[in-house]
Amino acid sequence: VQIEIPETLAPLFEPRRYKVLYGGRGGGKSENIARALLVMGMQKPIRVLCAREFQNSITESVHQTLAGVIRLYELEAFYEIQASTIKGINGTEFVFKGIKHNYTSLKSYQGVDICWIEEAANVSKASWDVIVPTIRKEGSEIWISFNPNLEDDETYQRFVVSPPPDSWVLKVNWDANPWFPDVLKAEKDHLKAKDPQAYKNVWEGHCKQSVDGAIFANEIAKAIEEHRITRVPVKEGIPVHTFWDLGHSDKTAIWFVQLIGLEYRLLDYYEASGEKMPHYIKVLADRAYQYGEHCLPHDADNEQLAANATIRQQLQNAIKDNPALGKVVRVVPRIPKKALGIDAARSIFDQCLFDKDKTAAGLQCLRRYAYARDDQSGKISKEPRHDVWSHGSDAFLCFAQHFKRPQHTEYKSIMIS
């Protein structure tokens, strides 16, 4: 048999540690990787692990794509399509796995020759840190295909922005696919007319500015358009205030802000998890800003981050010992609804300038802050999703509420002089 793939993808057959195909829909990424792997599996016995971040059932895997090629070229005498594997008569084997939730069992895949990670845009850092060292056989390869989501996604940064040595990275869109089907062309043209912004992501493979349904999608788009994500130098002689969200096993997040005229300058951002208060006090000390006020969320009065004093007390004590650490510790009152905090954030977002490097991790949170969606019903909740990104956003709400605080709320603050 002669199995056709586009000439531009010929490097799939050359040895490389990483082969990365990314771009818009319909570029032929999945189809041609499947073809190439099936061809290689006929030339010699290989073990192929087809992985993705989440795989609840085999139907969510590339099993179907591979089976489609086998049937099209009538390779059934060579490949046996089983419910959860595909086996060649020479010993070649394809297996299918979700990465997340399987970190331990993945360790048994050290013998694989090629690991193909499909829909890799949302593979987390934690998952890459498990999968990469697992694929350790001499000459083994990691193949990656995805449609880009956000530019600051781990996968995009790791394999497109700064790819590791011995990588072959190619952007492929629909126009690189000689067999681009008419049905897809019609869909493409329709989206281009209807939603040019979405078109650029879905079909041209451009990165999005925020996730679908992001709470601050418009505010972030405007900030980018107005070049307010830029280099923001610290202004001497003006206090730097901090705004917190607290967590122990969850993240603790801190924004560092200067107020200059009507402009909020978000200079810096820090987050960590599993740390205690002395760690964060050291973070403040190391950054050595001229601190003004530290604004903590309402739970600062009871949450202890594993110590004998509350968070507020610990920070106050630190300031007493070292006045360079700040002047005032405030606890922002609890607001009855998240929505009010979000409104506050929207109302001051247009006055915000972000340092593109030092607040990158915080912006990552804001771009991903979205309402929770029920997977079963598809209903969007009124509550924002609680995940690794929500803490940086909660700290941002703390910042917004401080400056846009509702009238007549009791405001607890302790002056230290």
Ligand X SMILES: Nc1ncnc2c1ncn2[C@@H]1O[C@H](COP(=O)(O)OP(=O)(O)O)[C@@H](O)[C@H]1O
Nearer to Mg ion among residue 131 and residue 172 (C-beta):
172
Nearer to ligand X among residue 148 and residue 392 (C-beta):
148
Nearer to ligand X among residue 208 and residue 330 (C-beta):
208
Q: How far apart are CA 183 and CA 26, in angstroms?
A: 10
Query: In the complex, which residues of this chain contact ligand X (CB under 6 A)?
Result: 4-5, 25-32, 35, 177, 179-181
Query: Which single residue is written with the structure tokens 């050359």?
Result: 14
Closest distance between ligand X and the C-beta of residue 151, in Å? 19
Among the candidate windows 25-33, 41-49, 329-337, 398-406, which touches Mg ion by CB under 5 A? 25-33
Closest distance between ligand X and the C-beta of residue 188, in Å? 11
- Among ligand X, Mg ion, none, partner that 177 touches (CB below 5 to 8 angstroms by kind): ligand X
Buried b (16+ CB within 10 A) or exposed e, 374-391: eeeeeeeeeebbeeebbb
| Total residues binding Mg ion (CB under 5 A) | 2
Q: How far apart are CA 250 and CA 331, in angstroms?
A: 20
Nearer to ligand X among residue 28 and residue 88 (C-beta):
28
Q: Which of 3, 6, 8, 30 binds Mg ion (CB under 5 A)?
A: 30
Q: How far apart are CA 128 and CA 134, in angstroms?
A: 10
Among the candidate windows 22-30, 76-84, 179-187, 311-319, which touches Mg ion by CB under 5 A? 22-30
- Cβ neighbours of residue 186 under 8 Å, at least 6 residues apart? none
Nearer to ligand X among residue 2 and residue 417 (C-beta):
2
Which positions from 198 through 217 interact with Mg ion, judged by CB under 5 A?
none
Nearer to Mg ion among residue 29 and residue 241 (C-beta):
29
Strand, coil or helix: 52: strand
In sequence order, what E strands does 246-359 have? 251-260, 263-273, 291-296, 328-331, 352-355
Nearest residue to Mg ion, scored by beta-carbon proximity? 30
Give residue 175's identity as a one-letter amino acid code.
D
Among the candidate windows 27-35, 221-229, 240-248, 403-411, which touches Mg ion by CB under 5 A? 27-35
Closest distance between ligand X and the C-beta of residue 5, in Å? 5
How far is residue 226 from each of residues 137, 267, 352, 358, measured CA to CA in Å? 49, 17, 11, 19
| Interaction mask 246-285, Mg ion, x per CB under 5 A | ----------------------------------------
Closest distance between ligand X and the C-beta of residue 201, in Å? 13
How far is residue 136 from each of residues 97, 113, 139, 157, measured CA to CA in Å? 17, 9, 8, 22
- CA-closest candidate to residue 63, choices 39, 32, 97: 97
Contact (CB, 8 A) for 305 and 248: yes
Closest distance between ligand X and the C-beta of residue 371, in Å? 28
Closest distance between ligand X and the C-beta of residue 35, in Å? 6
In sequence order, what E strands does 89-238 have? 93-98, 114-117, 141-146, 167-171, 229-230
- Among ligand X, Mg ion, none, partner that 28 touches (CB below 5 to 8 angstroms by kind): ligand X
Closest distance between ligand X and the C-beta of residue 49, in Å? 19
In sequence order, what E strands does 34-128 have? 47-52, 79-81, 85-88, 93-98, 114-117
Nearer to Mg ion among residue 142 and residue 335 (C-beta):
142
Q: Interface with Mg ion by CB under 5 A: which residues?
A: 29-30
